[in-house]
Amino acid sequence: MAKKIAKKSKKTRKVIEVGQAHIQASFNNTIVSITDEKWNVLTWATGWSAWFKWAREATPYAAQVIAEQAIQKAVSLHWMKEVTVYVKWIWVWREQAIRGLLSGGVDIKAIFDITPIPHNGCRKKKVRKL
């Protein structure tokens, strides 16, 4: 029998010089997504994709390595030069992730904090009647 030969497809990469970096730094993990101006995800990286397991995912060093990996992919595939950063949550390692973006070789245009804020909070418990 003759083997089926799969066609090699040439995937064209778009040249996107200006993009956005979305950093979500939580207690458990750090997720960095690199998008274009219309919020279409180009590349991403997490703790598991950078070979950090379990508790090591939620460290400042891991956040820096994750951000470096995500931005290096964007630079090599899409020739990205300038980034606007959107940061979510308030933990310490989001600053390390921003430093990782800087060491990746891109210019940071602006940094926005998009942490959700409760506008009145939860409802209090009912007063116990004796």
Write down the pTM of the prediction.
Answer: 0.77
The conformational region for residue 106 under phi > 0 = left, psi -120 to 50 = alpha, else beta, is beta
| Interval 52-63: pLDDT, tens | 777 667 778 888
Q: Is the dihedral of CA 77, 78, 82, 85 positive or negative?
A: negative
> Quick check: 24 and 6 in contact, CB under 8 A?
no
**Local confidence band at 35 (pLDDT 50, 70, 90 cut-offs):** very high
Answer yes or no: is pLDDT of 6 > 60: no
- State residue 86's pLDDT score: 92
State what percent of residues in the chain have pLDDT above 70.
85
